[in-house]
Amino acid sequence: MGHVRARLSALRLACDLRIAKSSAYFVVGFSGIALAPDSGISIFLPKYIGLGRAQEYFYSNKKISAQLGYEWGLVNQVGGFNYQRLVMQIAADHAKGPREAFAAGKKAFNRAILPNLEDALNYEGILQDVAGKSAEHKEGVKAFFEKRHPRFE
Q: What is the pLDDT of residues 35-46, one digit of tens each?
A: 999 889 999 999
Q: How confident is the model at residue 10, as a pLDDT?
A: 74
Tell me, yes or no, whether 147 lies in a domain.
Answer: no
Q: Write 88-97 long-range contacts (CB < 8 A, 24+).
A: 90/17, 90/19, 94/17
Residue 38: which CATH number? 3.90.226.10
Strands (E), the chain: 4-7, 19-21, 24-27, 64-65, 77-79
Residue 60 falls in which region: left (phi positive, over 0), alpha (psi -120 to 50) or beta: alpha
Average pLDDT over residues 17-23: 93
Tell me, yes or no, whether 121 lies in a domain.
Answer: yes
Least confident range of 5-9, 13-17, 53-57, 132-136 = 5-9
* CA dist., res. 67 & res. 69, Å (int): 5
Q: How confident is the model at residue 4, as a pLDDT?
A: 52
Is residue 5 scored above 70 in pLDDT?
A: no
Average pLDDT over residues 96-123: 93
Tell me, yes or no, whether 50 lies in a domain.
Answer: yes
Q: How confident is the model at residue 2, as a pLDDT?
A: 46
* CA dist., res. 146 & res. 127, Å (int): 26
Is residue 1 scored above 80 in pLDDT?
A: no
Is residue 149 scored above 70 in pLDDT?
A: yes
Tell me the torsion sign for CA atoms 99, 46, 37, 67.
negative
Residue 117: which domain range?
4-141
Tell me, yes or no, whether 146 lies in a domain.
Answer: no
Tell me, yes or no, whether 48 lies in a domain.
Answer: yes
- The radius of gyration of the chain from alpha carbons, rounded to an integer in Å, stands at 17
- 8 A C-beta contact, residue 143 and residue 150: yes
Residue 104 falls in which region: left (phi positive, over 0), alpha (psi -120 to 50) or beta: alpha
Q: How confident is the model at residue 100, as a pLDDT?
A: 97
- How many structural domains are present in the chain? 1
Q: How confident is the model at residue 51 (pLDDT cuts 50, 70, 90)?
A: very high
Tell me, yes or no, whether 12 lies in a domain.
Answer: yes
Tell me, yes or no, whether 100 lies in a domain.
Answer: yes
Is residue 32 scored above 80 in pLDDT?
A: yes
Average pLDDT over residues 53-62: 95
Q: How confident is the model at residue 80, as a pLDDT?
A: 86
* CA dist., res. 60 & res. 30, Å (int): 10
